[in-house]
A and B are shown apart, each in its own frame.
Chain A
Amino acid sequence: MIVADRKKIPEIRDMIQGHDRVLLVGCGTCVTVCLAGGEREVGIIGAALRMSLKLVGRGHVVVDQCTIERQCEDAFIDILAQRVSQYDAICSLGCGAGVQTLAERFPQKPVYPGLNTQFIGILESQGVWTEKCLGCGHCRLGEFAGVCPITRCAKRLLNGPCGGSREGKCEVNADTECAWQRIYDRAKALGTLDRLDAIAAPHDWSTGIEGGPRKVVREDQCIAGLGPKS
């Protein structure tokens, strides 16, 4: 899932400066699961933001809130159209994709991000989320016993650990597992250590964000004549 966390209330308050009616829009998908922008968090951030506005003498600003199923798909945003027309601005509690989908759908409305989108990751334990994938566009987990060194090794090493791996921890941050220790341990348990003897080729970054923003097209699913927008 996409993992995000909230911005501080004063930052949101300053961002919406100059607007008198603001709609906070939560998203019911990834950011609900990572407890950043679902219905409950929207309620909390909404109440905190209204109080914060009052405390700085901007109590006249109306902040209302709602949460939709998914912000990154037009079909789910449509139900907002009527409501949005009653506000000067939108503050999205979706990920960056949600914020931008709202901005495109409502060209006349300023849209502000209420969250900081962090990464693609997993719930490691209750209340802790960890980054697992950079979305590099050319997955090589098969070469590395199912552990991604591109995301999880601080130096993105593809051919074994650096000299700083200590007792399973990374030298860059002692709170982080050494990805290469994990790769080795898993390969050993799977009996596939010999596969790690092969020299891993340099990574082709052209399929990643370095090659510019990407698009996935499924011709069979495109509606004739519509296709990709650009």
Chain B
Amino acid sequence: MDTDQELVILALCCHYCAYAAADMAGSMRLQYPGSVRVLRFPCTSKIEVNYLLTAFERGIDGILVAGCLEGGCHFLEGNLRARRRVERAKKLLDEIGLGAGRLEMFNLSSAEGPRFAEIATEMHERVVELGPSPLRRGREAVLAGVAGMASLAEAVIAGEKT
């Protein structure tokens, strides 16, 4: 496959669950597609609609948001709010014609390493089906976009940005 066509999928993970699960998937040497890049958030509630849209604007092909199990968020309702924001972003993606399918929210616990590998694979396969984002501008630009999103995530965690 032409490297320019290689997909980039962001996994926006809550520190308390999905991030730990991704870590476990790594220690268990479970395989999941290399297209999936993990970014850590203190809780999925920190992920605003404009953060999701900015990522798509930068040419990212798909995003999975992964938070704690419902009822298990360390900030009580953070993951429920995140789900609503994801729903709103999905509506906007449909409205502009990019398609809601490129974005999905999942819930899992920190002990579910294999589940993380499973949802990463599921999202990868879905995006393969959809094809690369029509908004991408070449792999270099997309990777620069990922780096930008990572520093934005750091700024969000540091409380410098909302």
Name A residues whose Cβ lies closer than 8 Å to a Cβ of B: 8-10, 40, 43-44, 47-48, 50-52, 54-56
Q: Which of B92, B97, B98, B134 is A44 in contact with, Cβ under 8 Å?
A: B92
A47-B54 in contact (CB<8A): yes
- How far apart are the CA atoms of A101 and B49 in the complex, in Å? 30
CB distance from B90 to the nearest CB of A (A): 12
A52-B50 in contact (CB<8A): no
Cβ of B96 under 8 Å from chain A: yes
Contacting residues, chain B, for A43 (C-beta < 8 A) = 50, 53-54
A48-B95 in contact (CB<8A): yes
Interface residues on B, range: 10 to 19
B92-A55 in contact (CB<8A): no
> Given A9-B92, A51-B57, A52-B97, list of 8 further CB < 8 A pairs?
A10-B96, A40-B48, A43-B50, A43-B54, A47-B56, A47-B57, A48-B96, A56-B97
Contacting residues, chain A, for B134 (C-beta < 8 A) = 54-55
Which residue of chain A is the closest to B55 with respect to CB atoms? A47
Contacting residues, chain B, for A52 (C-beta < 8 A) = 95-97
A44-B135 contact given A51-B56, A51-B57, CB 8 Å threshold: no
A55-B54 in contact (CB<8A): no
Which residue of chain B is the closest to A11 with respect to CB atoms? B95
B95-A51 in contact (CB<8A): no
A55-B96 contact given A47-B53, A50-B57, CB 8 Å threshold: yes
A44-B95 in contact (CB<8A): no
Q: Could you give 15 example pairs across A and B, Cβ below 8 Å?
A: A8-B95, A9-B95, A43-B50, A44-B49, A44-B92, A47-B50, A47-B54, A48-B53, A48-B96, A51-B57, A51-B96, A51-B98, A52-B95, A52-B96, A55-B97
Which residue of chain A is the closest to B89 with respect to CB atoms? A44
B50-A54 in contact (CB<8A): no
- Chain B 98-137, CB-CB to A under 8 Å as 1, else 0, gives 1000000000000000000000000000000000001100
- How far apart are the CA atoms of A55 and B162 in the complex, in Å? 27
B40-81, CB < 8 A from A: 48-50, 53-54, 56-57
A44-B96 in contact (CB<8A): no
- How far apart are the CA atoms of A40 and B53 in the complex, in Å? 12
Q: Which of B50, B57, B92 is A40 in contact with, Cβ under 8 Å?
A: B50
- How far apart are the CA atoms of A115 and B49 in the complex, in Å? 18
